[in-house]
Structure 1
Amino acid sequence: MLRNLKKITFPRKRIFAINFQRTFLTNDYKCNEAWREQLSSPILNKVKLNDFYNVLDQSYATKGIITAIDVDIFANSLRDPTYLEELRDLLHKLRLSAETGFMLDSTHHAIVRNYIEFERVHELIEMLKDPLNYGVFLDDYAANILLDKLITTSEYEQAANVASLIMLQEDYGNEITCALCQFACYKYIFSDSCSSAVLAEPETKNVKVEEIKIRVKYLRNPYFDDHFDINDLSLLAGKSLAWISQKNNNNLNNNLEIIGWLIYRKYESLINLCQECTKIESFKVYPEIIKLIERQIATVPDEEKKCLNDCVSFLSGVNSMGESLEYSMKMTIENAINKTQNQDIIEQKKLFKLWATHRELRLEEQIKRLDRAKRMQLIEQKQEQLKEEEQRLWFFDNEDKIDLQIEEKEKLVEVEHGEKKTSKTIDENYIPPEILPQRK
């Protein structure tokens, strides 16, 4: 056997072509063991998802009631990807009910982990982008795990979508989250899928369109808030990069902010930032930024070219960085992880225990509330039975009196009929008036 193996020659390219994907976050950061440990509680292990979903669905169909604690238990008990559609349906029903305001934080985190574990990240992002129908939001730890997953698999477009969601929430408290969002937006902006949208304005063709007039009660004034109403991912990525980079005033963030305002097409903010950066002695520009602005100049209208040319002239007069922008961003991510990783791990483990305790308390409250409602229903039923029994006993106790009252009423009726007959006999003596013939 060994002789035969020696005769076989393997091409070197195939041997050394194996690329191992490297993640930014370590396995310790994800706290998978602590997460599985809190999911092994008796409350979650006893749940049979098929029966539980049928009960919740029937309750919502008949009574229109679904509770946040039930959805939380379903989300945390999920072990099979076949029930992800049921989970999505329950989230939508919860969103339509008054209980949506009581949705637990553990529910959001469990949903993100489940969809990542079962490789359904694209469906998760679609849910995150539709908060009106599903109401799922990212916490810092879930966002970091999701961004790390997307960046590792080179899905920069989806990673930019997640970064834009963080920007829309305007929560920049976690350094790892901010660094990963910046890297995701940067990689998407310099990717092929974004270059055509970023470096070219949409062409407006004069096409004759047939006018269709529709009668409406009233017209709404057009309004664009330039935040939640943005649908263009390139604009969202640029705004995310600009806003997140504003939180720290260092050389890397200043360069990233320049890219952000450029892609966001806020040229007034862009030129003001370039002027301010040239006044900083320690500021150094990355060559990729000047090349990006020069590529943009060839595609913008004439009134905007002057602004971009001024930016190039400002940035060309400062020193250049010797290292690449991507390398600096990776180092920033590594530094942020080394700085806050241990604290984030401790906080996650505390949260898992807190969520488990909170789930038990909410479940006990719901059980007590249901028992109270059931007892009230039994009391009301008992009161109705006692009322009917009281009426029945009262009837038999007063049967003789009731019969006498009936007889008296019958006599009164007979008397009234007799009076009507006598009135008819008196009318027999009535003499009609004489009718005379009319004169001609």
Structure 2
Amino acid sequence: MLKVFKQSLKFVNVQCVSVLKTRTFLSHAYYCNEVWEQRFQDPIIEKVNLDNLYNDLEQQYQRTRNISAVDVDVFAHGIRDESYIDELLDLLHKLRMSADTYNTLNSMSHAVVRTLTNFNKIDQLLLTLDDRLNYGIFLDYYTANLLLDKFWKSKDYTSGARVASQLMLQEDFNHPISSALSLLHCFKFLQNPSEWPQPPKPEEPEEEVKIRIKYIRNPYDDQHFDLTDPNKIVGKTLMEITRPFKDSLNHSFYLLGVTLFKPDNAQGVVDKLINDNVIVYKDVLSMIPAEKLNMLKLDTLQTESVNLDELLENNVQNVVNKLSEKDIALQCQTYLQWEKERKEALANQHKRLLTMQRLANVDKLQQDLKEKEMLLWFFENEEKIELEIEAKKKEIEANKDQNQGVKKKQEEEEYVPPEVHKKKDVLQ
């Protein structure tokens, strides 16, 4: 009997360990799923027909090359199944090309991130975040925390490091939970690097095509948005995360980040750590590539061995315990504020449409009155009308001549004279 009890106890312990290994740092309450689903109770979202809305926005864009930001926001919040993901991304791109992209609501990025995450469209989400110019989707601390926690649970450390790099590009490591989770993901990625997706290269033409251009731009790398090397990206991310802190953990990872991003500056950081008598963790130094480690003089650097996994996980758990309840309360208030902003934006859009309609009606009325006046007083103003017609013809002819002159000038500028060779003597 005692033997059976010990075996069952051992089985329970194994189960507990496996559960702990797959646990998330953020509680179920942190995701605010119940409050997020309440958006469907909003009459605006509840009654929207996504097919009709998409068709209306598509036709509006084809006519005016412009669509409304608040309408796209309503579409993003009204999605209930994954069949509308392609339409959502298409509308985001069209909005980005529209003048009304300036009025994009604060809730837009949140809705896109949560929708793609809920339907497990992770690849599309990360590509959308990378393509800021065409989609304009940016992370805030809350959506970053949700993604980092999700990727931690699925052990997708590469995706977690890519999310952390998005915060680096935005220079937004102000939230302790985001910083701690990002540091953990970058560490795990460097422990076991996997393939980092690269932007697609332009297709090479089958035949050589020569294009005449006025000048060639010198290649330029801003060392920020132009970064493509994963080691440099993660290195700069580590530098941005750890820069504000002065403890041994952050100093160690800052040195690692400098070594990966700007190895020429690494020795200066080492010298400063030696002068300040800062202890650096050996486990972090072991992650520095061998060819770069050999370039550093670490003889007098104070080092110490620690369990980095445990230290980083405890760091995350501590900040989560301190800030999770505050974040939950703030996010619930934010959802209510976004609903209010959406209603105000729709009301303002309705006012603008009414104003534009009134102005169009006034213009049409003025045009009708002008035509009636011309008919009624035609014979009295016949000479004046003929002079106006004659002046209009001359203006058209002048514009035509001017356009022909510009076209001729352009042709002359584009003309490439043939190569002239000295004529050989016939006798030769």
**Fold match by TM threshold 0.5:** yes
| Aligned partner of residue 286 in structure 2, secondary structure | helix
Tell me which amino acid in the other structure corresponds to 1:52.
L
| Aligned partner of residue 138 in structure 1, secondary structure | coil
Residue by residue over 1:249-292, the C-alpha shift from the partner in whole angstroms, topping out at 9 and shown as x without a partner, is: 1121111112212222x2343223233333445x4433322333
The residue aligned with 1:371 is 354
Query: Where does 1:50-61 land on structure 2 (aligned, <5 Å)?
Result: 50-61=51-62
Task: Give the Cα–Cα distance (whole angstroms) in 1 for the partners of residues 55 and 71 of structure 2.
Answer: 12
Deviation at 1:130, TM superposition (A): 0.7
Query: Where does 1:310-389 land on structure 2 (aligned, <5 Å)?
Result: 310-311=297-298, 313-315=299-301, 318-321=302-305, 323-389=306-372
Residue by residue over 1:190-247, the C-alpha shift from the partner in whole angstroms, topping out at 9 and shown as x without a partner, is: 114279xxxxxxxxxxxxxxx9986532111222211111111221011101221111
The residue aligned with 1:243 is 240
From the CA coordinates, give the structure whose radius of gyration is larger.
1
* 1:224 paired to 2:221: yes
Deviation at 1:47, TM superposition (A): 0.6
Task: Give the Cα–Cα distance (whole angstroms) in 1 for the partners of residues 118 and 175 of structure 2.
Answer: 23
Task: Give the Cα–Cα distance (whole angstroms) in 1 for the partners of residues 156 and 283 of structure 2.
Answer: 22
Task: Give the Cα–Cα distance (whole angstroms) in 2 for the partners of residues 17 and 346 of structure 1.
Answer: 31
Q: Is the 8 A contact 2:66 2:97 kept in 1?
A: no
Deviates more, 1:251-260 or 1:361-370: 251-260
The residue aligned with 1:137 is 138
Task: Give the Cα–Cα distance (whole angstroms) in 2 for the partners of residues 288 and 237 of structure 1.
Answer: 17
The residue aligned with 1:287 is 282
Task: Give the Cα–Cα distance (whole angstroms) in 2 for the partners of residues 386 and 260 of structure 1.
Answer: 73
| Aligned partner of residue 292 in structure 1, secondary structure | coil
Tell me the TM-score normalised to structure 2 length. Answer: 0.77
Task: Give the Cα–Cα distance (whole angstroms) in 2 for the partners of residues 305 and 179 of structure 1.
Answer: 26
The residue aligned with 1:275 is 271
* 1:261 paired to 2:282: no
* 1:124 paired to 2:121: no
Cα gap change, 1:234 to 1:39, in 2 (>3 Å): farther
Cα gap change, 1:59 to 1:224, in 2 (>3 Å): same
* Percent of aligned pairs with the same amino acid: 37
Cα gap change, 1:173 to 1:212, in 2 (>3 Å): same
Deviation at 1:382, TM superposition (A): 3.3
The residue aligned with 1:421 is none
The residue aligned with 1:420 is none
Task: Give the Cα–Cα distance (whole angstroms) in 1 for the partners of residues 211 and 168 of structure 2.
Answer: 38
| Aligned partner of residue 287 in structure 2, secondary structure | helix
Q: Is the 8 A contact 1:188 1:194 kept in 2?
A: no
Task: Give the Cα–Cα distance (whole angstroms) in 2 for the partners of residues 58 and 167 of structure 1.
Answer: 38
Deviates more, 1:85-94 or 1:345-354: 345-354
Tell me which amino acid in the other structure corresponds to 1:271.
Q
| Aligned partner of residue 300 in structure 2, secondary structure | helix
The residue aligned with 2:194 is 193
Q: Is the 8 A contact 1:182 1:241 kept in 2?
A: yes
Q: Is the 8 A contact 1:274 1:314 kept in 2?
A: no
How many residue pairs get aligned? The number is 358
Residue by residue over 1:362-405, the C-alpha shift from the partner in whole angstroms, topping out at 9 and shown as x without a partner, is: 1000011111212222333333344444555567xx89x99xxx
Unaligned 5+ runs, structure 1:
1-11, 196-210, 403-440
Residue by residue over 1:106-156, the C-alpha shift from the partner in whole angstroms, topping out at 9 and shown as x without a partner, is: 001100000110100111110100111111100110111011111211111
| Aligned partner of residue 307 in structure 1, secondary structure | coil
Tell me which amino acid in the other structure corresponds to 2:356.
A
Residue by residue over 1:305-344, the C-alpha shift from the partner in whole angstroms, topping out at 9 and shown as x without a partner, is: 6533x13x234xx2513x3111111111111111211221
Tell me which amino acid in the other structure corresponds to 1:23.
T
The residue aligned with 2:295 is 307
Task: Give the Cα–Cα distance (whole angstroms) in 2 for the partners of residues 59 and 29 of structure 1.
Answer: 39
Tell me the TM-score normalised to structure 1 length. Answer: 0.75
The residue aligned with 2:422 is none
Question: Alpha carbon RMSD of aligned pairs, Å?
Answer: 2.8
Task: Give the Cα–Cα distance (whole angstroms) in 2 for the partners of residues 115 and 233 of structure 1.
Answer: 24
The residue aligned with 2:391 is none
